[in-house]
């Protein structure tokens, strides 16, 4: 299975007929079991791209194609959103089984799968809590468990740790790295954080500011499992620096334009 | 040093909490105490006959009148008549209001059709429609239930509509990405999201229902709290009239309590 992002463009047209070009000719592929990170300055259309791939927004031109799967139904994806998007009226357990319920799975199977992923993200004992009783980091763990439990062909993550404080964020990056190494799901991860992109990704797609274009695609040749020590290594820092040199001019222009 | 200006003599200034009054103090006994004082003053005024008892009977006299109406059972006929009208009207209004509110809130065609109709009919005082309802449905129970249902329907439908419009679009996206279709989104995302708004609508609605049941019973009825109050006034039975008012107050308090309990039961995810 391979997901081809085939020359995607997106132009928003508002009510007055003014148009804003968000994405221009985005073309790359996510290979099976690959961790791809899309990084770009603010307002580069990263979230637009994710929504199009998730089937939550239509593109102006271009397609998202899941290659090598034999299914008539829509290819299953799952999204982890920045703001968690947990159902506040559902407990941790009920949130995690949401997708399984929608597939009409038997309750015993639901319980089994939910337990597997709840313990994968380290939330045993919190099954019956409501989201408002959890910290931000725990909420995002629930969201990750919910997405993984749905067994998606492609897991999508939209700046999942941006709403967390810096320390929790760092810990969650280690956590995600560990979880991914256990599951090896095809994963598309959106972020504006370059260090995060290098730490997590097999490949990093660098987008320009609006309209978002692919500036470069870098293969991150760092050994796995990746952990704490990695961020001090020379090669890691070189990758970070290389991406920053692409982005800093873009980010400055974006900042001055907005200011 | 002499001849130079001295600094002020204060050597230390201690910071005071300027926002202390924002932490509102609670006065649990004062509420009860003031309530009792008002009752006692009222009792005194009536006992001294400063105001004729025909205009303002003493609380004790009203209470004993109420007790005798309970003992003879005369009061229950009226209370049950009013309550059953409220109940039916309320049930019809709530179920229709939730249904219509979701339809016009979530689907574009019902919204385009329904919104102007609601905007045009909402401002009409519902009691003004009662004569028309009597003309259509007769002078019996149906027209009374209908006027209550109409009165409760509007706050309910408007609350539900507003609630649906304010459902977090991210939750809908999350449900879609996890495989929900539109019908299931209504049931599993919209409905739980708007529960607080439904309860708010019910609380608004019950006040309106009490108002309308009394008004409708004053127009045409042979039982009910409104009927009881009106006939008591005609016969200058002020005590009986006052009993009617107290029952209305108690009903209002009871329904508020009931909805608060139900809200806590049905919305356990709110702290």
Which residue has 């107290």 as its token pair? Answer: B246
- From the CA of B156, how many Å to the nearest CA of chain A? 22
Distance, in Å, from the CA atom of A211 to the CA atom of A224, rounded to the nearest integer, reads 34
Asked if B268's CB is within 8 angstroms of A76's CB, the reply is no
Collect all residues of chain B within an 8 Å Cβ-Cβ radius of residue A98: 175, 178, 188
Average pLDDT for B130-154: 94
Report the chain A residue with the minimal C-alpha distance to residue B194. Answer: A89
| Probe site for chain A from B168, B177, B185, B188 (most A CB atoms < 10 A) | B177
The candidate with the shortest Cα–Cα distance to A210, out of A16, A35, A49, A7, is A49
pTM: 0.85
- From the CA of B110, how many Å to the nearest CA of chain A? 22
The answer to whether residue B258 scores a pLDDT higher than 80 is: yes
The candidate with the shortest Cα–Cα distance to A6, out of A31, A39, A28, A37, is A28
Q: Which of A55, A83, A102 is nearest residue B170 as measured by Cβ atoms?
A: A83
Residue A206 DSSP SS3? strand
What pLDDT was estimated at residue A38?
96
For each of the domains in chain A, give its residue range(s) and CATH number, in order of start.
2-76+152-258 (3.40.50.300), 84-150 (no CATH)
Collect all residues of chain B within an 8 Å Cβ-Cβ radius of residue A81: 170, 173-174
Cα distances from B261 to residues B194, B264, B267, B268, in angstroms, run 17, 5, 10, 11
Distance, in Å, from the CA atom of A207 to the CA atom of A23, rounded to the nearest integer, reads 9
Asked if B176's CB is within 8 angstroms of A85's CB, the reply is no
- From the CA of B185, how many Å to the nearest CA of chain A? 10
What pLDDT was estimated at residue B7?
67
Contact of A29 with A4, CB cutoff 8 Å: yes
Instruction: Express each pLDDT in B237-253 by its tens digit.
Output: 999 999 999 999 999 99
Q: Which of A85, A132, A150 is nearest residue B170 as measured by Cβ atoms?
A: A85
Distance, in Å, from the CA atom of A90 to the CA atom of A128, rounded to the nearest integer, reads 9
Collect all residues of chain B within an 8 Å Cβ-Cβ radius of residue A77: 177
Q: What's the distance, Cα to Cα, between the start and end of chain B in Å?
A: 65
Asked if A131's CB is within 8 angstroms of B178's CB, the reply is no
What pLDDT was estimated at residue B151?
96
Asked if A87's CB is within 8 angstroms of B171's CB, the reply is yes
Q: How many CB pairs under 8 A join A and B?
A: 58
Report the chain A residue with the minimal C-alpha distance to residue B268. Answer: A89
Instruction: Express each pLDDT in B14-58 by its tens digit.
Output: 898 888 888 878 888 898 999 999 999 999 998 888 888 888 899
Query: In chain B, which residues touch A (CB < 8 A)?
Result: 168, 170-171, 173-180, 184, 188-189, 192-193, 195, 267-271
What pLDDT was estimated at residue B4?
62
Contact of A198 with A39, CB cutoff 8 Å: no
Asked if A89's CB is within 8 angstroms of B192's CB, the reply is yes
| A248-255, Cβ contacts within 8 angstroms, sequence gap of 24 or more | A250/A40, A250/A41, A250/A44, A250/A208, A250/A209, A250/A215, A251/A41, A251/A42, A251/A209, A253/A209, A254/A41, A254/A42, A254/A43, A254/A44, A254/A209, A254/A210
Average pLDDT for B64-75: 92
| Probe site for chain B from A58, A85, A86, A155 (most B CB atoms < 10 A) | A85
Number of C-beta neighbours around residue A111 at 10 A = 14
Establish if A160 touches chain B: CB-CB under 8 angstroms.
no
Collect all residues of chain B within an 8 Å Cβ-Cβ radius of residue A146: 178
- From the CA of A253, how many Å to the nearest CA of chain B? 30
| Probe site for chain B from A54, A89, A148 (most B CB atoms < 10 A) | A89
CA atoms B116, B117, B122, B124: torsion sign: positive
Collect all residues of chain A within an 8 Å Cβ-Cβ radius of residue B184: 102
Collect all residues of chain B within an 8 Å Cβ-Cβ radius of residue A83: 170
Q: What's the distance, Cα to Cα, between the start and end of chain A in Å?
A: 44
Fold of B80-228: MetI-like fold (1.10.3720)
Collect all residues of chain A within an 8 Å Cβ-Cβ radius of residue B174: 79, 81, 85-87
What pLDDT was estimated at residue A73?
67
Segments in A90-221 forming alpha helices (H): 92-96, 98-102, 107-120, 136-149, 166-183, 194-200
Q: Is A162 exposed, middle or buried (0-12, 13-18, 19+ CB in 10 A)?
A: middle
Instruction: Express each pLDDT in A177-219 by its tens digit.
Output: 999 999 999 999 999 999 999 999 999 999 998 889 999 999 9
Instruction: Extract the residue ranges of chain A whose pLDDT is less than 50.
Output: none
Cα distances from A170 to residues B164, B195, B196, in angstroms, run 37, 37, 37
Report the chain B residue with the minimal C-alpha distance to residue A51. Answer: B173
Distance, in Å, from the CA atom of A203 to the CA atom of A219, rounded to the nearest integer, reads 4
DSSP A22: E
Distance, in Å, from the CA atom of B225 to the CA atom of B241, rounded to the nearest integer, reads 9
ipTM score: 0.90
Instruction: Express each pLDDT in B84-112 by its tens digit.
Output: 999 999 999 999 999 999 999 999 999 99
What pLDDT was estimated at residue B270?
79
The answer to whether residue B170 scores a pLDDT higher than 70 is: yes
Strands A203-207 and A187-191: unpaired
Sorted by where each begins, the domain ranges of chain B are: 80-228
């Amino acid at each position: 299975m391979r997901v081809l992002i085939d020359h995607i463009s997106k132009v928003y047209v508002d009510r007055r007929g003014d148009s804003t070009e968000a994405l221009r000719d985005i073309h790359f592929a996510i290979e099976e079991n690959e961790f791809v990170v899309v990084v770009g300055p603010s307002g580069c259309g990263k979230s637009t791209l994710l929504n199009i791939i998730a089937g939550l927004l239509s593109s102006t031109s271009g397609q998202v194609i899941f290659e090598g799967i034999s299914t008539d139904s829509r290819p299953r994806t799952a999204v982890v959103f920045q703001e968690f998007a947990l159902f506040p009226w559902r407990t941790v357990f009920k949130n995690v089984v949401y997708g399984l319920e929608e597939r009409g799975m038997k309750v015993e199977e639901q319980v089994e799968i939910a337990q597997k992923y709840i313990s994968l993200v380290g939330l045993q004992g919190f099954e019956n809590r409501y989201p408002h009783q959890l910290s931000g980091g725990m909420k995002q763990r629930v969201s990750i468990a919910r997405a993984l439990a749905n067994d998606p062909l492609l897991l999508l993550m939209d700046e999942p740790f941006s709403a967390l404080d810096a320390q929790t964020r760092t810990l969650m990056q280690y956590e995600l790295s560990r979880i991914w190494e256990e599951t090896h799901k095809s994963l598309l991860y959106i972020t504006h954080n370059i260090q995060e992109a290098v730490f997590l990704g097999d490949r990093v797609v660098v987008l320009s500011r609006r309209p978002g274009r692919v500036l470069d695609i870098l293969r991150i040749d760092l050994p796995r499992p990746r952990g704490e020590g990695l961020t001090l290594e020379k090669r890691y820092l070189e990758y970070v620096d290389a991406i920053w040199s692409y982005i800093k001019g873009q980010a400055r222009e974006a900042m001055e334009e907005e200011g | 040093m002499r001849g130079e200006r001295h600094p002020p003599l204060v050597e230390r200034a201690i910071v005071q909490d300027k926002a202390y009054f924002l932490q509102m103090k609670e006065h649990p006994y004062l509420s009860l105490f003031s309530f009792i004082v008002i009752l006692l003053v009222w009792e005194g005024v009536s006992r001294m006959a400063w105001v004729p008892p025909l205009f303002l009977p003493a609380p004790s006299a009203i209470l004993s009148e109420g007790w005798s109406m309970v003992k003879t059972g005369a009061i229950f006929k009226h209370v049950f008549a009013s309550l059953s009208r409220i109940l039916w009207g309320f049930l019809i209004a709530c179920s229709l209001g939730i249904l219509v509110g979701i339809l016009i809130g979530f689907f574009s065609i019902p919204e385009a059709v329904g919104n102007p109709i609601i905007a045009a009919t909402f401002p009409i005082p519902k009691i003004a429609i009662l004569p028309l309802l009597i003309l259509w449905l007769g002078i019996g129970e149906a027209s009374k239930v209908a006027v209550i249902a109409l009165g409760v329907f509007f706050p309910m439908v408007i609350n539900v509509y507003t609630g649906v419009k304010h459902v977090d679009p991210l939750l809908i996206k999350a449900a879609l990405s996890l495989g929900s279709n539109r019908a299931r989104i209504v049931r599993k995302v919209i409905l739980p999201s708007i529960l607080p708004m439904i309860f708010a609508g019910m609380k608004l609605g019950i006040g309106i229902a009490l108002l309308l049941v009394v008004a409708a019973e004053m127009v045409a009825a042979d039982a009910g709290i409104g009927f009881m109050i009106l006939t008591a006034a005609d016969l200058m039975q002020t005590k009986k009239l006052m009993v009617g008012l107290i029952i209305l107050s108690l009903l209002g308090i009871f329904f508020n309590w009931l909805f608060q309990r139900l809200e806590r039961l049905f919305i356990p995810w709110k702290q």
